[in-house]
Homo-oligomer: A and B are copies of this chain.
């Protein structure tokens, strides 16, 4: 009988039965020193394209780990096509946001600058590492695409009008999210969450004029930007799962 894998890791490499897999230093260190695995232990791998595979550790060298891929344990499956556009926030909160958004199944993370954005740079490598770890933990078969930081205007200038953009609007004039989503046409979908200072009024007006923008309210409480992103994604996934997001 097949044992449960001791770990689950994302790799870029192609995965196929019988192939050799060589892990670089950080993943080798994790298996050898953190988890204390020995040759013969089973580890699961996914690459976002070819499902999930079981591999056996053949041996460790100084900074590497050699494995042999045995069998596929899950086929690649369709996943929600759901983007998150968010203004960068402070370090601990942006890490948390990326982790939670990945767990909640977003397919793409798009950091955007807005008029009131206070944080002008993002560390894509660090965010990518958080997304990979969350994908490994949450049994996802993919890691969300992480886009470079761009001005919101530039992202919207090339927007595919077929994708609905759900705008978290704190002005309390937008309809509640459940009501707005029930009335909206089919997706695909994206969620836009502003910076801690909120959107500028002119910015909000311009957004609301775009035909693909769907302004929603997340309730009467003032939510932090990371809370709004997580709450919005959770509601989108729950309400659209029977419809078109998945």
Contacts and interface: CB of A to CB of B under 8 A. Distances in A.
A139 B218 CA distance: 14
A244 B149 CA distance: 41
A188 interface: no
B105 A238 contact: no
Contact of A224 (B103, B179, B220, B221): B103
A104 B221 contact: yes
Q: For the complex formed by this chain, how many copies does it contain in all?
A: 2
Interface stretch (A14-22, A206-214, A228-236): A228-236
Interface string A91-106: 0000010001001110
Interface string A57-87: 0000000000000000000000000000000
A143 interface: no
A223 interface: yes
Contacts of A137: 222, 224
A221 B222 CA distance: 28
A237 interface: yes
Interface string A176-193: 111100000000000000
Given A176-B242, A179-B242, A230-B231, A138 B100 contact: no
Interface of A: 96, 100, 103-105, 137-140, 176-179, 218-224, 227, 230-235, 237-239, 241-242, 246
